[in-house]
Amino acid sequence: SAVISQKPSRDICQRGTSLTIQCQVDSQVTMMFWYRQQPGQSLTLIATANQGSEATYESGFVIDKFPISRPNLTFSTLTVSNMSPEDSSIYLCSVESGWTSTDTQYFGPGTRLTVL
């Protein structure tokens, strides 16, 4: 299994500002994912982050709003840009050690973001 930490664990931000969330894994992994969990709703995949290439975004999410970095096999960041109250959510990163659909995905504890 993989141990995943996220920073910050929570934050309260002002409208129009940006926040960068860090995700650190205790072992090298191939796939890293970023999810959003809006209040009272399920998890929605934002993007897949692979080391050495640009992130792949899901429908409804764009790089200008959610830029992602993946500088190595144990670390990734997600930035929430020009925030509005609608961005208030829990943001979770997850990792996989393999490339196939049978691999277990491990999740971090999440970053709880409140935008005023």
Partner 1 sequence: AQSVTQLDSQVPVFEEAPVELRCNYSSSVSVYLFWYVQYPNQGLQLLLKYLSGSTLVKGINGFEAEFNKSQTSFHLRKPSVHISDTAEYFCAVTPLDTGGGNKLTFGTGTQLKVEL
In the complex, which residues of this chain contact partner 1 (CB under 8 A)?
Answer: 4, 30-31, 33, 41-45, 48, 56, 58, 92, 94, 96, 98-110
The DSSP call for residue 105 is: P
Q: Minimum distance between the CB of residue 66 and partner 1, rounded to whole angstroms? A: 16
**Which CB atom, from 27 or from 56, has the smaller least distance to partner 1?**
56
Q: Minimum distance between the CB of residue 90 and partner 1, rounded to whole angstroms? A: 10
The DSSP call for residue 20 is: E
**Which CB atom, from 5 or from 18, has the smaller least distance to partner 1?**
5
Q: Minimum distance between the CB of residue 97 and partner 1, rounded to whole angstroms? A: 10
As a residue count, the chain comes to 116
Paired with 49 in beta bridges are 32
**Which CB atom, from 18 or from 99, has the smaller least distance to partner 1?**
99
**Which CB atom, from 36 or from 84, has the smaller least distance to partner 1?**
36
C-alpha distances in Å from residue 111, one per residue of 45, 101, 102, 103 = 15, 26, 27, 24
Q: Minimum distance between the CB of residue 13 and partner 1, rounded to whole angstroms? A: 19
Pairing of strands 10-13, 111-115: parallel
CA distance 37 to 11: 15
